[in-house]
Structure 1
Amino acid sequence: MSIMNSLRPGGRHGLSSRETRDPIGLAVAAVNRLAQSEIIDRVGLRRQTEQVVYSTTRNGFRVATAAGRQFARAGRRRAGTRPTSARSSGVFDLTPTEDETMLLEVVRELADELLRPAAAAADDACAAPQEVLAAAQEVGLPGLGVPEALGGIMEERSAMAGTLVAEALAKGDMGLAVAALAPGAVATALGLWGTEEQQQTYLPAFTGASDGQSVPVAALTIAEPTVLFDPFALATTALRDGDGFVLDGVKSAVVRGADAELFVVAAMLDGTPALFLVESGAAGLEVEADPSMGIRAAGLSRLHLTGVRVGADALLGDTDGEAYRECVRLSRLAWCALAVGTGQAVLDYVKDYVNGREAFGEPISHRQSVAFMVADIAIEVQAMRLLTWKAASRATRGEDFAREVGLARQLCAEKGMRIGLDGVQLLGGHGFVKEHPVERWYRDLRAVGVMEGAVMI
């Protein structure tokens, strides 16, 4: 693997001492381990026909959530460690840093060599191959948003790095990207808003400091199965009961819900949306399949909460809604990055197709209508990317990015669907069949405008 091998010369982990101190340099040191891994040689090209979520998708059963690991409770409830924001130079520059570029190259290779070949089978099976998920864990994706002080790989908060990673993974496959990034969304939430007790209880499992166990399957659950869902008007409720809370409601689009060991659940508390940590196996939790048009490889489920009792220490963040608002914005930013990556995949594919497909003795790209449609896709992808990167850069510096992420989401939702549709149109009859991946990308891109939660930068 040429890119990863090129990272080896030099200091510890193949990095210079300067790069080892830098937050993204630490990430590259972590992801460089993939070069020695046998996982790439065992990439899951086989069909996953016995997955729990796939079985429930076919049969519609509701089952109790999985009994997850026992998280060791810490004893202190002080405010947790928070990642610092990057310093602003005052210059409008969205060029990735040298270290972000190095990280991006590694993730691109992961997407090209693992995600893209496994995508079709994973879409059919409604489940991500374990080999792909293990590779994502091995390159350190769950800890990308966790502060270095808590065992993670970042010293300063870098929404820009997370955006670049999500975009690169989605170019391989959006569904597999969502499945790979979902645990990191929960870990990032704990790093941003968790108390010291919550961080010490849960984060070691995500950062590899928990007896060599695999990273827990975890899900950020905001969406609900309602028409015109508003994330700030939740039907799921949290009622105070003694020294804890009782949760009731239904959450939809829960990534790998049948296997999840930890959920971050959004619910209304005293008329204000808030976030709660809920461990799998809790009484009153049930999961059923949530069959979807797109991102099927993420194994989406519905989570039913019926009188689920949690302690006072389950509240994640504040009760005035500020943490929840930031969570929604960071989640929407992640979906924008996923849309950009998938849109780029469509563009690259249709360019080669129209140049190689001939009609009446010449490539169909010589037809003006075809050329203009491809040009429009290129313009729209670049516009989506610039708006998304601008929002990510402001989030990285700790500045208000509500306006920027709102603009990015509007553009990515509208133009993303258009890019998927035009990609199918450009392939003609080939765009309708599963022999070509464009029909899957079209289905995935339609998720951008309706999904909330699941992933977070």
Structure 2
Amino acid sequence: MSLINSLKPGGKHGVPSSESRDPIGFLVAGLSKLAQSDLIDTLRLRKSTEQAVFTVTRNGFKTMTTASRTFARAGSRGVDGVRLPAARPRGVFDLTPTEDQQMLVDVVTEFADEVVRPAATEANETCEAPEALLKASLEIGLPILGVPESLGGISEERSAMAGTLVAEALSRGDLGLAVATLAPGSVATALGLWGTDAQQQTYLPAFTGDDVPAAALALNEATVLFDVLSPSTTATRTADGFVLSGVKTLVPRGAQAELFVVGALLDDKPVLFLVESSSTGLSVEADPAMGVRAASLTRLHLDQVTVPADAVLGATDGTTYVECVRLSRLAWCALAIGTGQAVLDYVTPYVKQRQAFGEPIAHRQSVAFMVADIAIELQAMRLVTYKAAARAAAGKNFTREVALARKICADKGMRIGLDGVQLLGGHGFVKEHPVERWYRDLRAIGIMEGSVLV
């Protein structure tokens, strides 16, 4: 019996009771609700004419941002918010997932296989994630994976390792759709990590409710030799707060987003700011790229945008911003691993079945060695990425580990995409096979900053 069909829901909104509630229980219950709602069948039958096509594919657009939601200010100002404790140490470094983590991987992997993968081709063409898929991702609890349980989330400790596993599993279905579904939860996680009590009480209830807002981290900029740690976007102090000016690029689902975490330079230090979509001077322009197209990438224009003094997220000395960059790079490493695994899973049976000169091309050493290299490189990518994630979850310094992970996943991830296309020969160049899309998506690993974090 399928895992999805065997799941049983719990209490309100499919959440297990407080006696049995845990991250896995929440996701399992949510996925059961998904299975019963016929979303999977609806998604597979969805036609392009039934979607609101994202107009960037032809003419692009420029519009004011979504401003339908008003976030009511709440909580105690100047008081630190809830912070998750570090993950419990497991002794000797071990890459084997815990029982709960493995259950999480199994659930999300099946969601990726049965919901994400079938929607990927059309989402890539339209530059938009299907609404049914986005709603399904909410029902299995993705936006609140990194939110403390006391604030309505499902985390009892820092979730960098669980987030890494989820990102990897989702991107095996499609990297672009993984970014689209993970972006709101990344903002919620950032609020859980660095938000004040007032910020958490103001914004997190929206993410833990039934009507979860689209949201995104906006760190990338379209400047020559862009250095994420030295953004061109600036923040200027005023009597009442700050004024932000600059342009951010490759922002996922920016046209629908109601809340942004924007990186800007304040007093020569990079700082994170919470910017609501209703802010005057904020506008969005389509920014389609060669890859990650299903994430509806946009360009965010900040023209003298005024934000209040309490819009600063975390510290103003640059430490919060740097940690955000590192956790974001960790997420992108996980996305590279998942997409690379999709390539390996696709090319392995292909080279065994494809005949040339009377025998499978897998019998050629050059082909066999190339497939073996992909498997070896993927294992190396996992080793370094999981170690960085484990240290981040334990509250330890992971600067060196995430730098190594970023380097190997950017270099080897792009190489895996290229080799996947090469192994399919002429078939690798045509859209009949998904490898060309994975190749384009993997090119983003060394370029994209922000958008998602774990």
SS in 2 for 1:146: coil
Q: TM-score, normalised by structure 1?
A: 0.95
Shift of 1:386: 1.2
Task: State the alpha-carbon separation in 1 of the partners of residues 161 and 173 from structure 2.
Answer: 19
Question: C-alpha displacement at 1:14, in angstroms?
Answer: 10
8 Å CA contact retained: 1:23, 1:156: no
Measured in 2, the distance between the counterparts of 1:80 and 1:398 equals 17
1:84 Cα deviation from its structure 2 partner: 1.1
SS at match of 2:385: helix
Matches within 5 A, 1:199-238: 199-208=200-209, 212=210, 214-238=211-235
What's the counterpart of residue 432 of structure 2?
435
Q: What residue in structure 2 maps to residue 166 of structure 1?
A: 167
Query: How far does residue 7 in structure 1 lie from its aligned partner after superposition?
Result: 4.2
**Contact 2:195 2:314 (8 Å CA) reproduced:** yes
Q: For residues 82-129 of structure 1, what are the alpha-carbon distances to aligned partners after superposition, in whole Å with 9 as ceiling and x for unaligned?
A: 111112132111111111111111111110111111111100101111
**CA RMSD for the aligned pairs?**
2.0
Q: How far apart are 1:278 and its partner, in Å?
A: 0.7
Contact 2:15 2:30 in 1 (8 A): no
2:259 matched to 1:262? yes
SS of alignment partner, residue 451 of structure 2: coil
Shift of 1:267: 0.3
* Pair 1:99–1:48, CA change in 2 (3 A): farther
1:424 corresponds to: 421
Which AA in structure 1 matches 2:204?
A: L
**Counterpart in the other structure of 1:73:** 73
Shifted more, 92-101 versus 331-340: the winner is: 92-101
Per the alignment, residue 96 of structure 2 pairs with 95
| Separation in 2, partners of 1:126, 1:112 | 20
Q: In the alignment, residue 152 of structure 1 is paired with which amino acid?
A: G
1 CA distance for matches of 2:80 and 2:16?
34
TM-score scaled to structure 2, two decimals? 0.95
The structural deviation recorded for 1:71 is 1.2
Report what 2:117 is aligned to: 116
Partner Cα distance (2:11, 2:295) in 1:
38
User: How many pairs are equivalent?
Assistant: 451
The residue type paired with residue 62 of structure 1 is K
SS of 2:450's partner is coil
In structure 1, distance between residues paired with 2:10 and 2:138: 25
Structure 1 residues not aligned, in runs of 5+ = none
Residues 451/48 of structure 1: CA separation in 2 closer, same or farther (3 Å cut): farther
2:59 matches 1:35: no
Q: How far apart, CA to CA, are the structure 2 residues paired with 1:80 and 1:171?
A: 34
Gapped regions of structure 2 (runs ≥ 5): none
Preserved contact between residue 75 and residue 202 of structure 2 (Cα < 8 Å): no
Deviation of 1:11 after TM superposition, in Å, equals 11
- Cα distance, 1:21 vs. partner? 4.6
Residue 342, structure 1, aligned to residue 343, structure 2: no
C-alpha displacement of 1:56: 4.0
Cα distance in structure 2, aligned partners of 1:15 and 1:195: 28
1:55 aligned to 2:52?
Answer: no
Identical amino acids, percent of aligned pairs: 68
CA distance in 2, matches of 1:277, 1:47: 35
Contact 2:27–2:141 under 8 Å retained in 1: yes
- Does structure 1 residue 148 correspond to structure 2 residue 145? no
SS at match of 1:112: helix
In the alignment, what sits opposite 2:182? Answer: 181
5 Å matches for 1:320-339? 320-339=317-336
SS state at 2:58 partner: helix
What SS class does the counterpart of residue 278 from structure 1 fall into? strand
